[in-house]
Amino acid sequence: MIPAMRPVVIAGNWKMHTTPSDAGELATTIARRTSEPGVVRVFCPPFVCLPAVRDALRSEPLAADVALGAQNVHHELAGAYTGEVGAPMLVGLVEYVIVGHSERRRDFHETDALIGQKVRRVRDGGLRTILCVGEQLDEREAGRAEAVVRDQILGCLAGLEAGTSAAPGPLEAAGSVPWLTIAYEPVWAIGTGRTARGGDAATMAGVIRAALAEVGIPDGGESIPVLYGGSVTSGSIGEFLAEPEIDGALVGGASLKPDEMAGIVARAAVTAAARRSVVAASRT
């Protein structure tokens, strides 16, 4: 599959910010400022804010194609797990679930095996996974960056059948694998003073797709969107979206700022338009 056929996705991870009283207003403000053709928008507020954001977006005409996402899910469907949320609880409330975020790996010691269980729960529930992968600073300095990311993909997805009952989401290409998106997080460049470049992300996207092919994803992983997830801003997003292998961003702190999100999605729309032009030209 040519890159032009992959969707351009901007997902905002709000982390532990906002409350039910203010999340809805923020969501509608961002939705109004980011209505651009061809860009899949995903808002991921805290669990307690999901109903408020859903209800607010339903009343906003410019948010009709905004998808909601959860920031995490438990690896079991149900049980005596105080404070946890299972995939069946999210069905009908969200379309996407972030799994394997670097903060979950770091703070809660989540392993690839555990993350793989979560991926299965999300997929079997008919939801879409945003699977995060990425290497630490010491791993990069030791020359192990590509091996680490490959092993994360294999560890999280090995043995997982490619098929799913989930229907394609907004603006996704027909025939794509709609249940999976990968977010590459260069953990070594987050809060360390170091900077990842577009070329770094593009190289890792190639590694990711090669690993996806190893686990049997159709088209050798070419249909799977790969997002950049390293402290992206409206000022830096252009460098990453200029790379054909990068299909959008998982945005952290900037996703809480309407001006920043407006700039990020506007630049993503340029990439989406260019891809539509390539598709149109290929059909003439």
Strands (E), 89-156: 96-99, 128-133
Distance set, CA 30 to CA 81, 131, 219, 261 (Å): 34, 24, 34, 7
17 as an active site residue: the answer is: no
Nearest to 69 by CA among 205, 206, 183, 165: 183
**Which entry of 74, 101, 103, 172 is annotated as an active-site residue?**
101
At 93 the three-state DSSP class reads coil
Retrieve residue 60's tokens. Answer: 């906003």
Contact yes or no for 83/52 (Cβ under 8 A): no
The question of whether 243 is a catalytic residue gets the answer no
The residue annotated as part of the active site, out of 185, 243, 245, 260, is 185
Q: CA-CA distance, 211 to 283, in Å (whole number)?
A: 30
> Encoding tokens for residue 122?
């999300």
Active site residues: 101, 185
